[in-house]
Amino acid sequence: TPLYHGMWHWELPSGFGWAAFDPEHSVMFCRSVVKDGRCWHLTLVKTCPLNIVYFDGTSAVKLSSGTLDSQDIIIWGDVRPHHSFNEWSRIMALYDWGREFNIDGSVK
């Protein structure tokens, strides 16, 4: 399954990041950052099976009204609405939790 990553600068990601299943989705994020329309669009292909955690519904929406509750419970054991907009804290906590289970990433 190809994954896509749009970004405004011409460098390979060196750490954690995101990828989309649709190229149109990844380009949309690039355009939200760059006003002149420039976008570096990467196509990524994994050469072995991925172990992922899938969060369905509106779990990618950063709100304190419940959209992130299942992620909170998995990574912290309780609901933490004050972490709703702290994406890097959530990514790092999910990564730390997933290492025990050989998780490669999450899908929202």
Instruction: Summarize the confidence of residues 82-87 as an average pLDDT.
Output: 82
What's the whole-model pTM score?
A: 0.68
The mean pLDDT value of the chain amounts to: 81
Angle at CA of residue 44, ends 104 and 48, nearest 5°? 50
Q: How far is CA 72 from the centre of its chain?
A: 15
| pLDDT reported for residue 36 | 67
| pLDDT reported for residue 31 | 62
64 DSSP 8-state letter:
S
Domain residue spans of the chain: 2-45, 52-107
pLDDT digits (tens, 9 = 90+) for 19-53: 888 888 887 777 655 566 677 888 889 888 989 88
Contact 40, 63 (CB under 8 A): no
